[in-house]
Chains A and B, each alone.
Chain A
Amino acid sequence: MTEQALPVFNIERFALHDGPGIRTTVFLQGCQLRCRWCANPESWTVGPKLMYLDKKCTGCGRCVAACPQHAVSLDPETKTAVIDRTLCTNCGRCVTACLNKARKISGEKMSVQDIYDIVIRDKDYYLQTGGGITFSGGEALLYAQALVPLLEKLNADGIAVAFETCGHVPYSSFAAVLPYTDLFLFDIKTMDPHIMKQYTGGDLDLILQNLTALAKQDPEKVIVRMPVIPGVNDGQDNIAALCRMMNDLHLKRLDLLPYHTLGLTKYQQLGMEYPFERKTPLAKEAVIPLQEFARSQGLSVTIGG
């Protein structure tokens, strides 16, 4: 297998939200979008990220001494460590120094062999449940070519593959993985290009072109996913437009994902501001009207993954 390193920030076993059955989800760093509600801010760019949870800090100061950049100091008031992110190089020495697991580095380079060795351990569970491997991120399709050897190997083992994608990549990326892939969990955040630009920075045209091209190839391989973000895309017009398009493309399956705030702590750990106003999750029940409408349009709709 070709040894090409990939920037992995998490491998989640027994994943239940990213496709059918029991799965392992491999999260890769790097994404062109900046969705304001993003739950994985550590995935935006490639490279190690220092994550620091001040709640666990006892103020022992070992990290202060360990930092070669003098980026860590003790806050005289709270007696806990603070990081000057402009100086921090994410070298990880403070992580080694910390005795309280207040610090960790997210993101490491892994070879496809390393990834394979982990995901293959649950093969029997995938086969029993119709599960498999899901590549997510970030935007995993940024590594479409690099992943092909791994996909070939998984296919040879009879393991199903899914991609969770925002669709904001050249179509050639889809084309590269399509022969090996059973399912695309294709995020459509909104049907309004202006809102798309405003809230994610992305180009909706590119995404919809990719979805159209993919649907022409094999509509059965696509589940459209819409994160339901209050005040952004939960209006009637948006769901109506989405359903129309899906019907035009013969796409039958839609997942509605209620906005959640599980990413809040991660922003704190990264020393970043949470970019979205609303700090409370959306109840599952709030999404039911959208689900009912989409069902009335002939779609098969689930809430949650």
Chain B
Amino acid sequence: MVQFDVEGDQNVNVSKEIPCEKSELEQLELMEQYTETYKRFSSSSVIRREVECEKVLFPAVMRSIQDQDLFAGRMDFLPIGFGTVTSVGGVGHYCRFDKLRKLEQVLDEQYNGVYHQRVEDLYQFWLDHDVKTIYCRQVLTDTTIGRFIDCRYPLLATARLSGMMLDYPKLLDNGIAGLKAIVSRRKEQDPDHSEFYQGCLEMLDLVTACADDQRKKALALAEQKRSSDPIRAAQLEKMAAVLANIRTEKPQTFPEALQLLWLYAILAGVINYGRLDDFLGPYLAADLDAGRLTEQEAYDYVKSLWTMIENRRTTVNGRVIVGGKGRLHPKEADRFLHIALKVCKDCRYVEPQFTLRVDQDTSEQTWHEALDALGVGATYPTIYNDEVNIPAVAYGMRVSEDTAMRYVPFGCTEFVLWGQSTGTPNTLINLLKILNIYMNNGVDPMDGKYKLGPLKPTDLSKVRSFEEFYDGYKQLLDYYMDLSAQAQFVSYQVMNSQCAFLLNSILMDDCLQRGKALLDGGVRYLGGTCETYGNINASDSLMAVKHLVFDTHRYTLPQLEEAVLHNFEGYEEVRRDCLDCPKYGNDLDDADEMANSLYEFVATGIRDRGIRLGMQYYEIVISNNSLNTDWGLSTAASPDGRLKGMYMNPANNPQGGQALNGPTALLNSLSRFDARYHAGSVQNIKFSKPMFNENKQRIEDLFKVYFRKGGSHVMVTVVDRGAMEDAMIHPEKYPDLIVRVAGYSAVFVDLDRSVQEELLSRTMFDDEIA
């Protein structure tokens, strides 16, 4: 059986977590109760077991209300519990073995080992029942498919349900009682699925129970504060009143809508929040117009939301999306949008990943506010171009343009259709590692393991043309894409065999209509994504092979490969020649076309396979987190001149230091890929502060032209290089220097040194006079 480390890193986790409010012993007891319940209902249906387990958790895991909170809803995740993603808790019925071990150590120290065996029993039980572990046992292989994140493998696979963006209008329009009425009606109409509907009803009752729990906590706190801090006491009483109003009834005001949406989202375990401008704007506008809320109060609520999202510390999620086409209430939504842009500029938090969708009708005011926020170093908003993305999504996901307007980026940029599709990136593929393996007779130069699957090794000395060379690489890519599509598909099967994700199902079309859980045939569009890495290193490597071996005949393929295998040590001249080859990102037709050719091969290859397996869509995302750096550490030298262990290119950007022709050239290269074949591709651009702030109008125009040329997205970092360099030496001085890692932002000093170095390597457009 394949070996893997269940305690290994589970996700890209940079932000520091807020510690659990419960004592270790309380946690242990709750986890035991959860585990007992799980066992007791193991012979019942998946739905019944899930409901009963959730009843153990809620409202027990709800935290107390913090001093600055204007609405309620904080919760803890224990090492064992139920969730959707590893960022908060884990996937389905999960056990975070790494965290359980830590808890065991603390308990051992506190109680002299008295509880050791009880923790150990949990550990052993969940080895066979943790959803992700069940998946890993089924899918991982010794050499080709690794656990997320085990960077020795060319392909990583995981089970998770990332990026759920629920149909919040349905929640807000109906309230809990209204939803229950809908579910009850369906239950009568469709008795065959009464188990599912009954589960939904009980889950909705848990939302009410949690509202009541929070209401009690708010009132108790208000009582405490009544004499010492009457203003805060009044806020808490208002919070309690809001909770009372939405415990079953639908919200009438902005604070009520915000409260209900938030409470539901955290109970559902989702960490991306969707088009909040359109969802909350009408409530906000009505309150402002009726004088129920001042602008300042509205600002404070939005800021409180920002804080709540930040405090969840998911690192790569927390999406709030504003602007763009397809909003039902654009005028009211814009009022939320402008307040949110102001909050974004003032707060400069790592999360939420504040996302602005723009189109031709986006106002100058919005553009200016967005650039102002970026100019002060907020790193948000990250900007998506609806004019390109909507038709692209329509094609890629095989839906109408009207439906495509529901696209929302989550996590590191993956698109889903809110309320209608799943898009979790459960597979990740390293194109450069696969090239290394191909060029070295099927052996990964990093660990000497044979990773060619059933394919025959290629004798490089016999390759007669670049096309022949490229075709061989494509065959290996085909093999890995087959594995990838299969692994994605199986992730849904495994998760569905274990969980119903009921709170998600309730707010996702067409689960209630069909009486089926999300992954059991409920969701309207079962989509998925595959993250690709090393795209540009691989295409630049192909370019170098073509140029040096087949065009100029400077080296033979074996000579080039020999230099690469030696990490260019003793072959410095070869490396220089490799580095001098045309590189993507400089508006050079040959290098850009090579990148596009590889992109289209992989993107369409993945997409076609997903469709063949019966998914609505399965598309690549050229997203990024710090995995380009981590995976780079385990990836051998490559013909683009990259050394062994060096970071790989970030997202769809050129390799660090290779963009030499300025921002227009970079954007011309970036706009080249046809957006129809991907479900999100991150495009970073970095400016120094003076250059950006002194030329805002020109930079705004720069982006607009880039968008007209087909650019789908841009993430802008405005930063002083000096600050980053200094922060590596004096981290204590830079607690809030936020930088764009790619798909997300992070506090610079929290990043690993190798990631910091990669960030510094990226070309920054500064203002020097020739």
Please give the residue numbers on chain A whose beta carbons come within 8 Å of chain B beta carbons, in ascending order.
10, 12-17, 21-22, 25, 27, 39-40, 99, 121-122, 124-125, 128-129, 131, 260, 262
Decide yes or no: A129 and B769 within 8 Å by CB, A13-B662, A13-B665, A124-B708 being known contacts. no
Decide yes or no: A125 and B705 within 8 Å by CB, A12-B662, A16-B695, A99-B576 being known contacts. yes
Cβ contact within 8 Å between B664 and A122: yes
Is the CB of B327 closer than 8 A to any CB of chain A? no
Cβ contact within 8 Å between B770 and A125: no
Decide yes or no: A25 and B770 within 8 Å by CB, A13-B665, A14-B664, A125-B664 being known contacts. yes
Decide yes or no: A99 and B572 within 8 Å by CB, A39-B769, A124-B709 being known contacts. yes
Tell which of B576, B702, B709, B770 touches A40, judged by Cβ atoms closer than 8 Å.
B770
Sorted nearest first, the 7 A-B pairs with minimum C-beta distance are: A14-B662, A13-B662, A129-B701, A122-B664, A99-B572, A124-B705, A99-B576
- Digit string of B346-386 for contact with A (CB within 8 Å is 1, else 0)? 00000000000000000000000000000000000000000
Decide yes or no: A12 and B770 within 8 Å by CB, A99-B573, A121-B587 being known contacts. yes
Decide yes or no: A22 and B701 within 8 Å by CB, A27-B770, A121-B668, A124-B709 being known contacts. yes
Cβ contact within 8 Å between A16 and B767: yes
Q: Which residue on chain A has the smallest CB distance to residue B767?
A: A16
Contacts of B697 in A (CB 8 A): 129
Decide yes or no: A128 and B665 within 8 Å by CB, A17-B769, A25-B770, A262-B768 being known contacts. no
Is the CB of B462 closer than 8 A to any CB of chain A? no
Tell which of A13, A22, A122 touches B698, judged by Cβ atoms closer than 8 Å.
A22
Which of B661, B664, B668 has its CB near the most chain A CB atoms (within 10 A)? B664
- Digit string of B753-770 for contact with A (CB within 8 Å is 1, else 0)? 000000000000101111
Assembly CA distance A22 to B664 (angstroms) = 9
Assembly CA distance A25 to B704 (angstroms) = 22
18 contacts between A and B (CB under 8 A): A12-B770, A13-B661, A14-B662, A14-B664, A16-B698, A16-B767, A21-B698, A40-B770, A99-B572, A99-B576, A121-B587, A121-B664, A125-B702, A128-B701, A128-B705, A129-B698, A129-B702, A260-B769
Assembly CA distance A15 to B702 (angstroms) = 12
Q: Which residue on chain A has the smallest CB distance to residue B575?
A: A99
Q: Which residue on chain A has the smallest CB distance to residue B708?
A: A124
Q: Which of B665-687 contact A (CB under 8 A)?
A: 665, 668
Assembly CA distance A218 to B696 (angstroms) = 31
Could you tell me the distance in whole angstroms from the C-beta of B586 to the nearest C-beta in chain A?
10
Assembly CA distance A27 to B576 (angstroms) = 27
Assembly CA distance A92 to B22 (angstroms) = 71
Assembly CA distance A121 to B587 (angstroms) = 8
Assembly CA distance A198 to B665 (angstroms) = 42
Is the CB of B163 closer than 8 A to any CB of chain A? no
Contacts of A16 in B (CB 8 A): 691, 695, 698, 767
Could you tell me the distance in whole angstroms from the C-beta of A270 to the nearest C-beta in chain B?
15
Is the CB of B663 closer than 8 A to any CB of chain A? yes
Contacts of B664 in A (CB 8 A): 13-14, 22, 121-122, 125
Decide yes or no: A14 and B663 within 8 Å by CB, A99-B572, A99-B573, A262-B768 being known contacts. yes
Assembly CA distance A122 to B695 (angstroms) = 17
Contacts of A125 in B (CB 8 A): 664, 701-702, 705
Q: Which residue on chain A has the smallest CB distance to residue B573?
A: A99
Taking chain A's interface residues, is the majority helix, strand, or loop, or is none over half, making it mixed? mixed
Assembly CA distance A13 to B663 (angstroms) = 8
Contacts of B695 in A (CB 8 A): 16
Interface size class, chain B: 20 to 34
Q: Which residue on chain A has the smallest CB distance to residue B709?
A: A124
Contacts of A27 in B (CB 8 A): 770
Cβ contact within 8 Å between A262 and B702: no
Assembly CA distance A16 to B696 (angstroms) = 12
Assembly CA distance A121 to B705 (angstroms) = 12
Taking chain B's interface residues, is the majority helix, strand, or loop, or is none over half, making it mixed? helix
Assembly CA distance A125 to B707 (angstroms) = 11
Assembly CA distance A216 to B573 (angstroms) = 58
Assembly CA distance A247 to B576 (angstroms) = 56
Assembly CA distance A16 to B767 (angstroms) = 8
- Digit string of B305-320 for contact with A (CB within 8 Å is 1, else 0)? 0000000000000000
Cβ contact within 8 Å between B702 and A22: yes
Q: Which of B565-582 contact A (CB under 8 A)?
A: 572-573, 575-576
Contacts of B668 in A (CB 8 A): 121-122
Assembly CA distance A99 to B563 (angstroms) = 15
Could you tell me the distance in whole angstroms from the C-beta of B582 to the nearest C-beta in chain A?
14
Could you tell me the distance in whole angstroms from the C-beta of A118 to the nearest C-beta in chain B?
9
Contacts of A14 in B (CB 8 A): 662-665, 702, 765
Contacts of B709 in A (CB 8 A): 124
Contacts of A260 in B (CB 8 A): 769
Contacts of A40 in B (CB 8 A): 770
Assembly CA distance A34 to B62 (angstroms) = 76
Contacts of B708 in A (CB 8 A): 124
Tell which of B576, B704, B765, B769 touches A262, judged by Cβ atoms closer than 8 Å.
B769
Assembly CA distance A43 to B587 (angstroms) = 26
Assembly CA distance A124 to B587 (angstroms) = 14
Q: Which of B607-655 contact A (CB under 8 A)?
A: none
Could you tell me the distance in whole angstroms from the C-beta of B606 to the nearest C-beta in chain A?
31
Could you tell me the distance in whole angstroms from the C-beta of A166 to the nearest C-beta in chain B?
16
Cβ contact within 8 Å between A10 and B769: no
Contacts of A128 in B (CB 8 A): 701, 704-705
Contacts of A129 in B (CB 8 A): 697-698, 701-702
Assembly CA distance A234 to B325 (angstroms) = 55
Contacts of A25 in B (CB 8 A): 770
Contacts of B770 in A (CB 8 A): 10, 12, 15, 25, 27, 39-40
Assembly CA distance A203 to B192 (angstroms) = 98
Contacts of B701 in A (CB 8 A): 21-22, 125, 128-129
Q: Which residue on chain B has the smallest CB distance to residue A16?
A: B695
Assembly CA distance A303 to B72 (angstroms) = 53
Contacts of B665 in A (CB 8 A): 13-14, 121-122
Could you tell me the distance in whole angstroms from the C-beta of B155 to the nearest C-beta in chain A?
35
Contacts of A99 in B (CB 8 A): 572-573, 575-576
Having A27-B770, A124-B705, A128-B704, one finds 19 other A-B pairs with CB under 8 Å, namely: A10-B770, A12-B662, A13-B661, A13-B662, A13-B664, A13-B665, A16-B695, A16-B767, A21-B698, A22-B698, A40-B770, A99-B572, A121-B664, A122-B664, A122-B668, A125-B664, A125-B705, A129-B698, A262-B768
Q: Which of B241-272 contact A (CB under 8 A)?
A: none
Assembly CA distance A124 to B705 (angstroms) = 7
Q: Which residue on chain A has the smallest CB distance to residue B588?
A: A121
Contacts of B702 in A (CB 8 A): 14, 22, 125, 129
Which of A13, A40, A131 has its CB near the most chain B CB atoms (within 10 A)? A13
Could you tell me the distance in whole angstroms from the C-beta of B726 to the nearest C-beta in chain A?
21
Assembly CA distance A13 to B659 (angstroms) = 12
Which of A16, A25, A27 has its CB near the most chain B CB atoms (within 10 A)? A16
Contacts of B587 in A (CB 8 A): 121
Assembly CA distance A22 to B705 (angstroms) = 11
Could you tell me the distance in whole angstroms from the C-beta of B723 to the nearest C-beta in chain A?
21
Assembly CA distance A21 to B705 (angstroms) = 13
Assembly CA distance A40 to B769 (angstroms) = 10
Assembly CA distance A8 to B647 (angstroms) = 35
Could you tell me the distance in whole angstroms from the C-beta of A149 to the nearest C-beta in chain B?
24
Assembly CA distance A272 to B174 (angstroms) = 79
Contacts of B663 in A (CB 8 A): 14
Q: Which residue on chain B has the smallest CB distance to residue A15?
A: B770
Could you tell me the distance in whole angstroms from the C-beta of B331 to the nearest C-beta in chain A?
28
Could you tell me the distance in whole angstroms from the C-beta of B148 to the nearest C-beta in chain A?
39
Assembly CA distance A260 to B768 (angstroms) = 11
Contacts of B573 in A (CB 8 A): 99
Could you tell me the distance in whole angstroms from the C-beta of A248 to the nearest C-beta in chain B?
31
Assembly CA distance A129 to B703 (angstroms) = 11
Could you tell me the distance in whole angstroms from the C-beta of B420 to the nearest C-beta in chain A?
35
Could you tell me the distance in whole angstroms from the C-beta of A194 to the nearest C-beta in chain B?
28
Could you tell me the distance in whole angstroms from the C-beta of B5 to the nearest C-beta in chain A?
41
Contacts of A124 in B (CB 8 A): 705, 708-709
